[in-house]
Amino acid sequence: MRIMVDTNIFISAALFPKGRTAEALYKALVTPYQPVVCDYVLEELHRKFREKFPERTVELEAFLYTALPAFDIVPTSEEAVEAESKIRDPKDRPILRAALNAGADLFLTGDKDFLESSVEDPRIISVQTFLEM
């Protein structure tokens, strides 16, 4: 089962490695899941860390060094898809596009724009829901 991981999951897991979000990320790294991340999320992750947590970028790099080898890193297509219109924030739409193009079954996020959307494929799930699965 392919699971796309959103930027906010990486941020929370890197900053709070013993928290519930980190627990969900670690669960996504093992069978039966096949973790996926898109290049857009990785770029956004680095940008947000530089903006909000510049003193912790070394921690981010160490975290990614250990976690990323388990991920299938996929490109983000420039071509829009119909389902994108269900996402309020236009900056989030490329992430949904990448999840669809990567054949993700699940999309793990804490972003309300995704969680409150009517997108059904991939199934958008919160940390709590994923941990209860």
CA end-to-end distance (rounded Å), the chain: 13
Residues of the chain with pLDDT > 90: what percent? 69
What's the confidence (pLDDT) of residue 117?
86
What is this structure's pTM? 0.91
Quick check: 86 pLDDT over 80?
no
Quick check: 59 pLDDT over 90?
no
Supply the mean pLDDT for the chain.
91
| 90 burial level (CB within 10 Å; 0-12, 13-18, 19+) | exposed
Quick check: 21 pLDDT over 90?
yes
